[in-house]
Amino acid sequence: MRIHSLTDWPPELQAAARGESGASRYLCPACNGGRSRELSLTCAPEYFSGFAIAKCWRASCGYFAKVPLDPSAKIGTPQFKPRFFEGELASQGDAVRLLMPYNIGVPALEAFNIRSVVGKDAVYMPAYGPAGQERGGMLRYFDGTQPKAVSYKATDQPWQAWLSSRISSAPCVAGSWVTPLSRCSA
């Protein structure tokens, strides 16, 4: 969890953090509510701790911040910029063919919701947090594109994919997932 300064937030969130806003939901500063710009953020003071808590309830974002209510208690500034994959995904498509040489079969593709990218020799695997919330994903090219692996982090929360118990109980780090996954599912 990163702690930001209250003054880094837009004015409406600063008011919410001080308990001076009548609204119950706000525009998330990390994802801007996605394409529909939904008001997905809750933000309220937590007087016993002296912090304001903001949380985005969009599963694909998951922004969370705990900010000191005392503006002079400046602890840090946010560096994180969320990045979303915008390409078109096929249901499973060419992923079977692309991952066959790595001994990654249909059960693993289904367990991890691995999908191919329309028009490209590439596959995309979403990264999940321990409670199952999507936190972005990893794109892996098989057509020589460099870099061959690109991460799309939608949150500054810890970022791992967790293996389904159907495959293995061991966690799998998403950063370079093809090789670990081929071992797990072999």
Residues that bind Zn ion (CB under 5 A): 28, 30-31, 56, 58, 61, 63
CB of 124 to Zn ion, least distance (A): 20
CB of 131 to Zn ion, least distance (A): 16
CB of 77 to Zn ion, least distance (A): 18
Q: Which is nearer to Zn ion, 68 or 82 (CB)?
A: 82
Q: Which is nearer to Zn ion, 30 or 138 (CB)?
A: 30
Q: Report CA-CA distances (Å) from 96 to 92, 122, 123.
A: 7, 11, 10
CB of 81 to Zn ion, least distance (A): 13
Residue of 9, 57, 54, 10 whose CA lies nearest to 33: 57
Q: Which is nearer to Zn ion, 43 or 163 (CB)?
A: 43
Q: Report CA-CA distances (Å) from 68 to 7, 18, 24, 76, 81.
A: 10, 10, 20, 10, 21
Q: Which is nearer to Zn ion, 47 or 84 (CB)?
A: 84
Rg, Å, the chain Cα set: 19
Please state, in angstroms and rounded to a whole number, the distance separating the CA atoms of residues 164 and 168: 6
